[in-house]
DNA sequence: CTGAAAGCGCTTACAG
DNA sequence: CTGAAAGCGCTTACAG
């Protein structure tokens, strides 16, 4: 152990340069893999780095170079596996690009989102990927643009002047409705919950249009509790209107899982005398019984797309805004059946 | 819009100081909320900051102050809701402390963990919270200690010279075994999967000791597929030994969910002629049917504890290492019943 | 309470 | 290909 074991004894680029008998500028070039420096010199510098246990100081580099190799990611909720998967996709491509993600949770609250966004700017992120909190104003995005902060919207969009990565929710709804209609269902409910945002509207609209296209009534939209645990006991809400549905499409799989339990508790047979379709196709869909038919939105892929959009945006800040909207896919399993006499 | 709309026109502390007619040092004191500066001066500076749209530059501050207000978090897998919850707890506490988390995924691979840890050091994190990848060497931790990197282990531990936040897995196993034993079960299987690490050993040992304490045989440890989707179809593995179990305790809820489906597929009645206990008590436990009896390990709380340990460590780097091990709790629901004549 | 000076560890032109 | 100098935007003593 070297004698100078006080904290300040950080090994600096100058130390490396001296050890390797080159100037600091040359050492800097070696680090940044510049082709300007000869193979032998490079090897000498690299060995010096190893011997001294040199650690590159991004902070110092960023100050001069105006690049932090850091991207901010803001999600509404880490606890929801759906966002965790999105995050996973983002992290993978950001990491592969040699950058690092700074994570924050907005709690789907615009004030929190404000704070967190400011903190990201203070930390000098090169750009941010965020799932806009419900209620985010266009004005907020325009402010960010004015600040020259490279930005991409994920899952939800507020302004088409900013890059966006999402899935075609409306088309997904169409797939769900078409599947049920082909099984003979006419009275189909739509179970929703959570905050209102673009992805919410797109699903509702998708449902409405698909129903209308089939000549069916789209009036049966029922609101479920936001708390996961309370959904099963709210299943009866589906049957309180004048018309009794024979099937339900869910806003997401969290609702579908809950209703699957709740409908069973009510004595209905999901996949038998009642049909159920989820949305998102989370891992659990395949592991419950009956297996859940669900529309896959592939959040990991959306995350990867969002990260790629940001990377592109960093290299070309002036390019026109882009949208990457992936197709959804209906995974047919066991929770739907042909229309039956409504259970009584 | 100001005429100087080129990127370099970043508002600096000096600009603020000039605007407010104070020195740069004074402006700096205002930012850091020092009591040294008078109320009126402070107000003037704060207004100047607002007028100019000043954004604090952490990068520059850190370079001088040797504090980045940044903590690294390394998890093996973002896609597993269990780690997502851990992360959520960490993020909440770190955020409340005015710091920011830099996130990375080790994929439970020691080489990735190496790379990622180096990258964190390059970014100058003040400390790191990590769930050590399976196979992490003590030597690795010692290296980090030598580098003076404040560290806390979460969920799994390699060295007791480093802070640790986890749950008492062995006690949790005892609760599970005791519950089943009290229902008359004698032949109890233990279903495991995944990589081998301290939390794995603690659960296995906990199971063994609890079984022995009851005079029961702990030999029935069966390995399940690591892939979630393959677990249901592996349920039959439980019944390939000489002794036929009447109950199974699962290493985690992922296995429990899968076996719940698989056992049902096999014609068994979970909670009736076969009993099942999960581990972790994820949100889905309450939403499947029968409701899953599970041992809660409260990952969000573990995350909060880990973050607090790190914060304490930052203020007192020389304090002796600490361990914060939370108690587990058995949530009794519907998946266990009194021993019955083995089905079949 | 405030000001002038030095320095954190890099990168960036600019000469050689 | 290499060296000497300036500077990124802060904070830190040190005087006043």
pLDDT in tens, B220-259: 999 999 999 999 999 999 999 889 999 999 999 999 999 9
Maximal CA-CA distance, chain B: 88
pLDDT for position B7: 40
Nearest to A228 among B60, B105, B283 (CB): B283
- B294: closest CA among B335, B340, B325? B335
pLDDT for position B39: 82
Give dist(CA B251, CA B190) in Å, integer.
Answer: 7
Q: H helices within chain A, ranges in order?
A: 13-20, 24-31, 39-52, 58-65, 81-96, 110-122, 138-146, 169-182, 198-213, 253-265, 299-315
Give dist(CA A77, CA A106) in Å, integer.
Answer: 7
Q: Does B51 touch chain A (CB under 8 A)?
A: no
Give dist(CA B154, CA B156) in Å, integer.
Answer: 5
Q: Which residue has the tokens 């579908």?
A: A256
The contacts of residue B64 (CB under 8 Å, 6+ apart) are none
Q: Does B290 touch chain A (CB under 8 A)?
A: no
pLDDT for position B8: 41
pLDDT for position A295: 98
pLDDT for position B79: 87
Give dist(CA A126, CA A146) in Å, integer.
Answer: 15
Do residues A49 and A28 touch, judged by C-beta distance below 8 A?
Answer: no
Q: Could you tell me whether strands A293-296 and A329-331 are parallel, antiparallel, or unpaired per DSSP bridges?
A: antiparallel
The contacts of residue B48 (CB under 8 Å, 6+ apart) are B16, B17, B19, B20, B54
Query: What pLDDT, in 10s, does the model give residues B19-32?
Result: 888 888 888 888 88
- Contact B258/A284, CB-based, under 8 Å? no
Which residues of chain A lie closer than 8 angstroms to B123, CB-CB? 58-59, 69-70, 100
pLDDT in 10s for each residue of chain A, 344 residues: 333 333 445 788 888 888 888 888 888 888 888 777 888 888 888 898 998 889 999 888 888 887 889 999 999 999 888 999 999 999 999 999 999 999 999 999 999 999 999 999 999 999 999 999 999 999 999 999 988 899 999 999 999 999 999 999 999 999 999 999 999 999 999 999 999 999 999 999 999 999 999 999 999 999 999 999 999 999 999 999 889 999 999 999 999 999 999 999 999 999 999 999 999 999 889 989 999 999 999 999 999 999 999 999 999 989 999 999 999 999 999 999 999 654 44
pLDDT for position A6: 32
Exposure string of B254-281, with b = 16+ CB inside 10 Å and e = fewer, is bbbbbbbbbbbebebebbebbbbbbbbb
Query: What pLDDT, in 10s, does the model give residues B43-72?
Result: 888 898 998 889 999 888 888 887 889 999
Report CA-CA distances (Å) from B319 to B58, B126, B312, B316.
28, 16, 9, 6
Sheet holding B188-192, edge to edge: B221-223, B188-192, B247-250, B275-280, B293-296, B329-331
Q: Does A264 touch chain B (CB under 8 A)?
A: yes
Can you state the angle between helices A13-20 and A39-52, rounded to 10 degrees? 120
pLDDT for position A340: 67
For residue A91, give the 3-state DSSP assignment.
Answer: helix
pLDDT for position B9: 57
Strand D lies under 7 A from the Cβ of residue B38: no
Do residues A294 and A280 touch, judged by C-beta distance below 8 A?
Answer: yes
pLDDT for position B340: 67
Q: pLDDT over 90 for what percent of chain B?
A: 72
In chain A, whose CA is at the least distance from the CA of B60? A63
Both tokens of residue A268? 């209905």
Per-position DSSP letters for A285-313, written without gaps between them: GGTSSSPPEEEE--HHHHHHHHHHHHHHH
| Residue B194 Cα to chain centre, angstroms | 16
> For chain D, which bases have at least one atom within 7 A of a protein Cβ?
1-5, 7-14
pLDDT for position B253: 95
Can you state the angle between helices A39-52 and A24-31, rounded to 10 degrees? 90
Say if residue B169's pLDDT is above 50. Answer: yes
Distance from CA of B65 to the nearest CA of A (A): 11
CB neighbours of residue B253 within 10 Å: 26
Closest nucleotide relative to residue A66's CA, C1' based? D8
| Residue B319 Cα to chain centre, angstroms | 23
pLDDT for position B341: 57
Q: Does A327 touch chain B (CB under 8 A)?
A: no
Using the structure, give the distance in angstroms from the CA atom of B127 to the C1' atom of C11, rounded to a whole number.
Answer: 27
Residue A33 gets the label, from left (phi > 0), alpha (psi -120 to 50) or beta, of left
Give dist(CA B122, CA A83) in Å, integer.
Answer: 28
| Residue B343 Cα to chain centre, angstroms | 39
Q: Is A331 exposed, middle or buried (0-12, 13-18, 19+ CB in 10 A)?
A: middle
Domains detected in chain A? 3-56 (1.10.260.40), 69-167+299-326 (3.40.50.2300), 169-298 (3.40.50.2300)
- Contact B58/A122, CB-based, under 8 Å? yes
- Contact B78/A60, CB-based, under 8 Å? no
Query: What pLDDT, in 10s, does the model give residues A203-246?
Result: 999 999 999 999 999 999 999 999 999 999 999 999 998 899 99
Q: Does B9 touch chain A (CB under 8 A)?
A: no
Q: Could you tell me whether strands B323-326 and B188-192 are parallel, antiparallel, or unpaired per DSSP bridges?
A: unpaired
Give dist(CA A309, CA B268) in Å, integer.
Answer: 50
């Amino acid at each position: 152990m070297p004698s100078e074991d006080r904290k300040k004894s950080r090994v600096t680029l100058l130390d490396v340069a001296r050890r390797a008998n080159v100037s600091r500028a040359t050492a800097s070039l070696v680090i940044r893999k510049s082709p300007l420096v000869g193979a032998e010199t490079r090897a000498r510098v690299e060995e010096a780095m190893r011997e001294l246990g040199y650690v590159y100081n991004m902070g110092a580099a960023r100050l001069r170079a105006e690049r932090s190799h850091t991207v901010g990611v803001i999600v509404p909720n880490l606890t929801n596996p759906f966002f965790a998967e999105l995050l996973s996709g983002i992290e993978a491509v950001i990491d592969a690009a040699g950058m690092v993600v700074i994570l924050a949770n907005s709690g789907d609250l615009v004030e929190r989102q404000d704070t967190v966004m400011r903190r990201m700017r203070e930390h000098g992120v090169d750009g941010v990927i965020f799932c806009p909190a419900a209620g985010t104003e266009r004005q907020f995005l325009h402010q960010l643009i004015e600040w020259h902060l490279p930005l991409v919207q994920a899952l939800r969009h507020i302004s088409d002047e900013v890059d966006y990565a999402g899935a075609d929710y409306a088309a997904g709804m169409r797939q769900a409705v078409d599947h049920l209609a082909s099984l003979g269902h006419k009275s189909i409910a739509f179970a929703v919950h959570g905050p209102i945002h673009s992805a919410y509207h797109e699903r509702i609209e998708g449902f409405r249009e698909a129903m209308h296209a089939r000549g069916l009534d789209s009036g049966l939209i029922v609101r479920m509790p936001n708390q996961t645990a309370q959904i099963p006991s709210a299943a009866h809400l589906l049957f309180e209107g004048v018309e009794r549905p024979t099937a339900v499409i869910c806003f997401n799989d969290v609702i579908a899982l809950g209703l699957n339990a709740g409908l069973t508790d009510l004595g209905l047979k999901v996949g038998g005398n009642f049909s159920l379709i989820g949305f998102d196709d989370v891992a659990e869909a395949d592991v419950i019984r009956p297996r859940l038919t669900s529309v896959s939105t592939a959040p990991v892929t959306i995350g990867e797309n969002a990260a790629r959009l940001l990377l592109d945006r960093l290299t070309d800040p002036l390019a026109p805004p882009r949208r990457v909207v992936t197709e959804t896919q209906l995974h047919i399993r066991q929770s739907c059946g042909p229309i039956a006499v409504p259970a009584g």
